[in-house]
A and B are shown apart, each in its own frame.
Chain A
Amino acid sequence: MKVPTMEQLMAEGKQPEILFWVGSAGSYDDRAKKITKAFVKILNKANVDFAVLGPEESCTGDVAKRAGNEFLFQMQAMMNIEVLNAYEVKRIVTCDPHSYNCLKNEYPSLGGNYEVVHHTQFIKELIDSGRIESVGDAYKGKRITFHDPCYLGRANKVYDAPREVLNILNANLVEMKRHKATALCCGAGGAQMFKEPEKGDKDINVLRTEDALKTNPEIIATGCPYCNTMMTDGIKSKEKEDSIIVQDIAELIANAQNL
């Protein structure tokens, strides 16, 4: 798989059009790595001039910040900003809404000023500019419901880009009752991904999965690696994994392109 690093490009005296911020989940988590690879396939197919930081990338510090560890967050942020600024990075794309929010909103006051886009926004750009021309009919007429990630939706009011990207699949897009601004969290945010939930009568991802099941979907589309894990687990707990797939929008587009 062709994945140039900033270091390689710099040695060749080149500056890519965009930096792909892979994020910790996208780098190490088996499920999230599939999303990363699908997105890279899309980038390569569209001839996007991109690069990653590779071993020079480190956790954005987002999850430490949500857990209340402002020290660790700012340490991570300043280290990452040093690297990003040394490479004179101007534009960043990421598949993780948490990295997106953190890089876009919380890095500037610490000295990191970049234009940050979520991968669904970037894919939308590629479609609009004709760099993704057409996709096949693999998903034509399929019932797809999109689960809004909190840090993309409510946190940054990005509701349309993921839906517009899904539209080119000619699928049957169905909305859950709670969607866009009132979408229910998958349960992973605020550092919950890394701990057991407090005592309650249900897991949040199960409640959200029930929301999705009410739309009778064939596919639950996600735009966040953590949401993806939570919804996948939810579908398993409902024993629906044979009839319903949970996939990131990047995976759906890459599949539709036969990549």
Chain B
Amino acid sequence: MQYIPNILFAILLVAGIGYFVKNVRKLTRNIKLGKDIDRTDNKSERWKNMAMIALGQSKMVRRPIAGFLHIIVYLGFIIINIEVLEIVIDGLTGEHRIFTKVLPDSVYGFLIGSFEILAVAVLVAVIVFWIRRNIIKLKRFLSSEMKGWPKSDGNIILYFEVVLMTLFLVMNASDLHFQHAGHGNVISQYIAPLFEGAPETAHIVERATWWIHITGILIFLNYLYYSKHLHILLAFPNTWYANLNPKGQFTNDPNVTKEVKLMMDPNADPFAAPAEGEDEGEPEKFGASDVMDLNWVQLMNSYTCTECGRCTSECPANLTGKKLSPRKIMMDTRDRLEEVGKNIDANKGKFVDDGKSLLNDYITTEELWACTSCNACVEACPVNIDPLSIIIEMRRYLVMEQSAAPMELNNMMSNIENNGAPWPYNQMDRLNWANED
């Protein structure tokens, strides 16, 4: 009978981690629906970017207040996990605070003491975050795409943190043995008097908070997949695989290059049948109208986005009241990808056309044509997400597959075709300026 808690704990742990792994598999399958792209060059720079931007938070601190508060929560998250390791070992072995037996009192006290201080710091930071979202109402948290679930999601994460941190402190405070030893109870000693003279209550509270704490952590782990909060994991691969070329360099579509070379080759026979044995295949689609037309890094970008809105708050189109919001581009891409993933799950592993697409059903042409391609959103993203590349791929689809550019742009493009300039001037007049005053 004495092993029942250990068995229960093992079941809880396996179920919690197992369900998480199942969702991670779904996540990777969805990301792999994207087209292939090679982003493995220049590995040393990639590692450096990951270390600086994801681990080192270098782009977060460009906004000092949010950046500083975020670092506290981030450090709290990483460091307090050492305590979770102890909880897991205790749970499986039936030990109590096993690290006290392995570590000298001073080291254990230092560790737990730091965790307690961090827990309080996290509580303060999270409360400030909540105030920023719900009382001060910062503009970037109020955009139209933040209504409904995205708003609740942001708050739920904060409530989770408050509950977990409080449980951790109360757990320590009600652990009379730990309080009497007096190593590391820097904060919890002030809560401990509540349990003085009531050892039985203390024991019940200690056990209850211990169980709720670890259960809460496992629930939070599984909440990630359904939330914007996946960035705590995906920020790392996302910064590693991010574009390293100059931001102004857009990809040259290789399918177009093939066609253009054929058109410009005087020896090419436009009516030639494909060579024997050569698979003619389905003609390649230009640009993107749905998530499967994007590359897998763009899809990973969409799952990484934590909807902070720094991109949108720097977007010149958005700042002047246009519908375009780079954050919405990422959220739409993710939501459509989730929809496609569910479609695949429901149809035994195959996507069945649902008559919908990322274009029009999620992202409108009005949004796409409002972009100035200025790269402010890409520059602003703390984890190197690239909304601009998605906008351009979708413009390519509109122009090359649907000839659906705004009329003025069609005029501009026919001018370039006819006389090599976006305006209707004769190419032979290109040097006239040299003879004018």
Q: Do A and B assemble together? A: yes
- Chain A: residues with CB nearer than 8 A to chain B? 1, 3, 5, 22, 24, 26-29, 33, 36-37, 40, 52-55, 57-59, 61, 63-72, 74-76, 78-79, 101, 104-106, 109-110, 150-151, 154-157, 181-182, 184-185, 187-204, 206-208
B379 near A154 with CB under 8 A, answer yes
* B431 close to A5 (CB less than 8 A): yes
Q: Does B428 contact A (CB under 8 A)?
A: yes
Residues of A close to B411: CB separation below 8 A: 194
Contact indicator A185/B248 (Cβ below 8 Å): no
Residues of chain B at interface, number, CB under 8 A: 70
CB atoms of A190 and B260 under 8 A apart: no
The chain A residue with its CB closest to the CB of B254 is: A109
B396 at the interface (CB under 8 A from A): yes
**Chain B residues with CB below 8 A from A203, complex form:** 320
A79 to B397, CA, bound (A): 24
The answer for the CA separation of A58 and B422 in the assembled complex, in Å, is 10
Instruction: Let me know if B398 is at the binding interface, CB within 8 A.
Output: yes
How far, in whole Å, are A67 and B399 apart by their CA atoms in the complex? 8
CB distance from B381 to the nearest CB of A (A): 12
Q: Which residues of A contact B19 (CB under 8 A)?
A: none
Q: With a CB–CB cut-off of 8 A, which chain A residues contact B348?
A: none
| Given A64-B413, A66-B373, A154-B378, 5 new contacts (CB under 8 A) | A29-B423, A74-B253, A101-B249, A150-B375, A192-B372
- The reply to whether the CB of B218 lies closer than 8 angstroms to some CB of chain A is no
Chain B residues contacting A150 (CB-CB under 8 Å) are: 248, 372-376
Q: Does B309 contact A (CB under 8 A)?
A: no
- B49 to chain A: closest CB distance in Å? 15
- Assuming the contacts A54-B430, A67-B413, asked whether A198 and B369 have C-beta atoms less than 8 A apart, the reply is yes
Checking B260, B287, B372, B434 against A78 with a beta-carbon cut-off of 8 angstroms, the contacting residue is B260
B286 interface residue (CB < 8 Å to A): yes
B381-437: which residues lie under 8 A (CB-CB) from chain A? 392, 394-400, 405-406, 408-409, 411-413, 416-417, 420-423, 425, 427-436
Give Cα A68–Cα B393 distance, bound, in whole angstroms: 7
B347 CB-CB contact with A under 8 Å: no
With A182-B314, A185-B376, A204-B316 as given contacts, are A67 and B323 in contact (CB-CB < 8 Å)? no
Contact A67 B405 (CB under 8 A): yes
B430 x A68 contact (CB < 8 A): no
Q: How far is the CA of A72 from the CA of B253 in the complex (A)?
A: 12
Question: Nearest chain B CB to A140's CB is how many angstroms away?
Answer: 28
20 examples of A-B residue contacts, CB within 8 angstroms: A29-B423, A37-B433, A52-B434, A55-B431, A66-B373, A67-B409, A68-B287, A68-B397, A69-B396, A71-B256, A71-B400, A72-B416, A74-B260, A76-B416, A78-B260, A79-B264, A150-B373, A182-B380, A185-B374, A199-B322
* Partner pick for A207 among B320, B323, B374, CB 8 A cutoff: B320
B337 at the interface (CB under 8 A from A): no
Q: Which residues of B are found within 8 Å of A208, using beta-carbon distances? A: 316
What's the minimum C-beta distance from A44 to chain B, rounded to whole angstroms? 11
B366 on the interface (CB 8 Å rule)?
yes
B263:A75 contact, CB within 8 angstroms? yes
Given A72-B413, A110-B257, A67 and B249 touching (CB < 8 A)?
A: no
Judging by beta carbons under 8 Å apart, are B431 and A155 in contact? no
Chain A residues positioned under 8 Å from B405 (CB to CB): 67-69
Q: Which of B321, B372, B431 contacts A27 (CB 8 A)?
A: B431
Given the known inter-chain contacts A69-B400, A198-B366, please indicate yes or no for A55 contacting B392, CB distance below 8 A.
no
Q: Choose one: A189, A193, A204; the contact of B320 (CB below 8 Å).
A: A204
Tell me the B298-355 residues at the A interface (CB within 8 Å).
Answer: 314, 316-317, 319-324
A79–B416 alpha-carbon span in the complex (Å): 12
Cβ 8 A contact of B372, one of A3, A101, A185, A196: A185
Please measure, in the bound complex, the distance between the C-alpha atom of A109 and the C-alpha atom of B253, giving whole angstroms. Answer: 10
In-complex Cβ contact of A187 among B372, B397, B423 (8 A): B372
Chain B contacts with A in 173-204, Cβ cutoff 8 A: none
Question: Nearest CB to that of A149 among chain B residues?
Answer: B374
